[in-house]
């Protein structure tokens, strides 16, 4: 192991779901104390903290956590980066280690999202007695529902059918079958918010949110937290055999924003940004898509999962429908995708998602995933994407790989 490689030493996620009796700091503490214990270290060892929370960002969740579990004077970076918030927090700790400022870092993400309604849709316009053009579009009324939609389900509905328009075959039923897969996978994940298998008929018959995504095809708004302790390779060599055996290598850690593409302000281009991150990650890790034993990708909606098969280059360009139809992404397929159940079943507590995905992969690479273990997993990928727009891709490898 090279001196300046960065490794995951400890990692933890809470159960995702409704946590009525726990506040943000309770959930954050549970995940962080879990990650510290998992890594065999304490707050005294942590030299930098990346802290992620979206909805209550101004309150400084990093320091709030320290005030409950350990104030040591180390730098805290409170970060916000849409659905890539947790992954961005992890990258703060990663970069501090790469920069030589720290040997051991902590990152966590936490969100309370139960009962929060649909996200997105843009700002309302103040209603006066006379029409008054406001904002960058000179709008006289709120534009949601007047000039199309900016809500997340609507945007990702359009992204799914845009793929259908370009390549064909991406029908309502196909998207529903992706959701069927993820709900089937979730039955093996005790930390998922929803763990019930759903039939294709149930999924297609459930209330439509924004065509072609029905309710179970949308990520669930739930509470949860996740945390990781990362360590520099040089430091890891001094730790116990058990710590070294369970450590998971971060072979690539990439964060991108959306490069300009024609019409990307009209319909967000989730493809170019993801493809850019994936290409960099494969190159940095020296890994090919065919090397991946499993992938956790950002299925905020069933439609998103399909386009990201393509964007992460798990299939030939334009081939996502055939790729899914081949069975490749089921847990017994050639490239299992979202064996955790994905955001559609596991839930999507926004800032917690980026590290929870890494926890899932790390758990398989350690051979500790129990009944849902992907046997012999050596290399895995995580992907998160948030509007508008941030994308993080990580490639992780088993210590002995």
Partner 1 sequence: MAQQVPIVSYLRLDPAPHLSASECTSCGARYFDRRNACASCFGSDFKHVELPTDGTLRTYTIVTAGGTGIIAPFVSAIVDCGGTSVRGNVVNIEPTSEALRLGMSLTLTTYSLGRDSAGTEAVGYAFEPAT
Cis, bond preceding 388 (omega within 30 deg of 0): yes
Is 83 an annotated catalytic residue?
yes
Query: CA-CA distances (angstroms) from residue 80 to 62, 89, 272, 277, 344?
Result: 12, 8, 22, 19, 22
Cα-Cα-Cα-Cα dihedral of 96, 281, 308, 110, to 10°? -10
Q: Which residues pair with 230 in a beta bridge?
A: 8, 105
Contact 42, 36 (CB under 8 A): yes
**Residue 101 Cβ vs partner 1, minimum distance, rounded to whole Å:** 32
Question: Toward partner 1, which CB reaches closer, 99 or 141?
Answer: 141
**Residue 263 Cβ vs partner 1, minimum distance, rounded to whole Å:** 4
Cis, bond preceding 333 (omega within 30 deg of 0): no
Contact between 269 and partner 1 (CB under 8 A)?
no
Q: What is the DSSP string of 273-305?
A: HHHHHHHHHHHHHT--GGG-SEEE---SBHHHH
Within 158-187, the residues that bind partner 1 by CB under 8 A are 158-159, 161-162, 164-165, 172
Is 315 an annotated catalytic residue?
no
Question: Toward partner 1, which CB reaches closer, 158 or 186?
Answer: 158
Contact between 126 and partner 1 (CB under 8 A)?
no
Considering only the stretches 61-69, 202-210, 240-248, 357-365, report the one whose residues sit in contact with partner 1 under the rule CB under 8 A: 202-210
* Pairing mode, strands 104-111 and 224-232: antiparallel
- Name every residue whose Cβ is closer than 8 Å to that of residue 24 and which is 6 or more positions away in sequence: 53, 56, 61, 64, 110, 111, 112
Question: Toward partner 1, which CB reaches closer, 159 or 314?
Answer: 159
Among 196, 265, 288, 317, binds partner 1 (CB under 8 A): 265
Contact between 289 and partner 1 (CB under 8 A)?
no
Within 93-122, the residues that bind partner 1 by CB under 8 A are 117-118, 121
Strand, coil or helix: what is 241?
helix
Among 73, 138, 371, 376, binds partner 1 (CB under 8 A): 138
Contact between 207 and partner 1 (CB under 8 A)?
yes
The residue from 12, 183, 185, 348 that is catalytic is 348
Helical H runs in 219-375? 233-236, 241-246, 270-285, 302-311, 320-325, 342-346, 350-365
Contact between 267 and partner 1 (CB under 8 A)?
yes
Which stretches of the chain bind partner 1, using CB under 8 A?
Answer: 117-118, 121, 129-131, 133, 136-149, 151, 153-155, 157-159, 161-162, 164-165, 172, 207-212, 260, 262-263, 265-267
Kindly list the catalytic residues. 83, 348
């Amino acid at each position: 192991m090279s001196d300046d490689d960065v490794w995951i030493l400890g990692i933890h996620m809470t159960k995702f779901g409704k946590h009525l009796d726990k506040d943000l700091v309770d959930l954050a503490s549970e995940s962080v104390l879990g990650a510290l214990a998992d890594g065999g270290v304490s707050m005294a060892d942590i030299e930098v903290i990346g802290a992620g929370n979206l909805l209550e960002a101004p309150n400084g969740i990093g320091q709030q956590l320290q005030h409950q579990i350990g104030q040591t004077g180390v730098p805290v970076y409170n970060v916000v980066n849409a659905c890539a918030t947790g992954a961005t927090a992890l990258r703060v700790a990663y970069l501090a280690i790469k920069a030589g400022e720290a040997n051991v870092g902590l990152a966590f993400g936490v969100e309370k999202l139960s009962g929060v309604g649909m996200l997105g849709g843009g700002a309302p316009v103040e209603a006066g007695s006379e029409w008054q053009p406001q904002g960058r579009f000179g709008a006289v009324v709120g534009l949601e529902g007047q000039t199309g939609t900016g809500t997340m389900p609507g945007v990702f509905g359009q992204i799914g059918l845009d793929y259908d328009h370009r390549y064909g075959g991406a029908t309502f039923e196909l998207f529903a079958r992706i959701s069927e897969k993820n709900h089937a996978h979730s039955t093996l994940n005790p930390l998922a918010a929803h763990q019930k298998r759903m039939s294709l008929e149930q999924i297609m018959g459930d209330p439509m949110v924004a065509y072609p995504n029905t309710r179970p095809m949308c990520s669930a708004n739930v509470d949860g937290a996740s945390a990781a302790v990362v360590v520099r390779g040089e430091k890891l060599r001094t730790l116990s055999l058990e710590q070294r055996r369970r450590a998971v290598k971060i072979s690539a850690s990439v964060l991108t924003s959306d490069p300009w593409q024609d019409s990307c302000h009209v319909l967000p281009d989730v493809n170019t940004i993801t493809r850019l991150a994936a290409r960099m990650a494969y190159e940095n890790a020296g890994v090919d898509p065919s090397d991946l034993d499993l992938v956790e990708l950002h299925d905020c909606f069933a439609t998103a999962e399909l386009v990201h098969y393509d964007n992460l280059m798990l299939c030939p360009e334009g081939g996502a429908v055939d790729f899914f139809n081949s069975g490749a992404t089921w847990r017994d397929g050639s490239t299992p995708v979202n064996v955790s159940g994905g955001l559609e079943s596991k839930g999507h507590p926004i800032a917690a998602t980026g590290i929870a995905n890494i926890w899932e992969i790390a758990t398989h690479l350690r051979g500790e995933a129990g009944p849902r273990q992907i046997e012999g997993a050596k290399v895995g990928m995580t992907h998160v994407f948030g509007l508008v727009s941030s994308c993080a891709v990580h490639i992780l490898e088993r210590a002995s790989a």
